[in-house]
Amino acid sequence: IMKIKIEHLLQNIKDFKAGTKIELTGTIYTARDQAHKRLVELLNSGKELPIQLKNACIYYCGPCPNAPDKIIGSCGPTTSSRMDVYTPKMLDNGVKILIGKGKRSKDVFDSIQKNKAIYLLATGGVGALIAEKVKSFKLIAFEDLGPEAIYEIKVEDFPLIVGIDCNGNSLFNL
């Protein structure tokens, strides 16, 4: 298992092959389908976005409320295919790292290749354990969406597996 910072992953994205296990450290944004819908609407209307998409790392997650002694509640991945309708537009606008669970559509697979991005898999069902990897948590945008709002989280040694690499390799049958 490779321990890696997001900046290093971005600089060397072509070197990370499907199946590689990593522990990622850095800043990521949570966003599920409703947040994606709003971001794409803002992009389509030419309005300012609440986050910088260039080189962004998006985690498909809706964090649970935290207990008083915790930074964040359970924060496991949601099913990535729910974002597939929005993902090519997000990738075309600079997103480089996607984190979620499950298979992606052929359009998303093709867009990952075109944009030299990467899709990382988080393990479902272990949201409480993943929460222990979160070092900070703050609301960024769309507060009215509750857990589906966009949050900035800083993670340390977040366990992931490369599901689709930028060279056209995948752990899924597409």
The catalytic residue among 30, 32, 36, 118 is: 36
* Contact assessment for residue 89 and residue 43, using Cβ atoms and an 8 Å cutoff: yes
Which DSSP letter does residue 49 get?
P
Q: Is 8 a catalytic residue?
A: no
H or E element that contains 127: helix 127-131
H or E element that contains 10: helix 6-11
Strand partners, 56: none
Chain-centre distance for alpha carbon 3:
17
Name the residues annotated as catalytic.
36
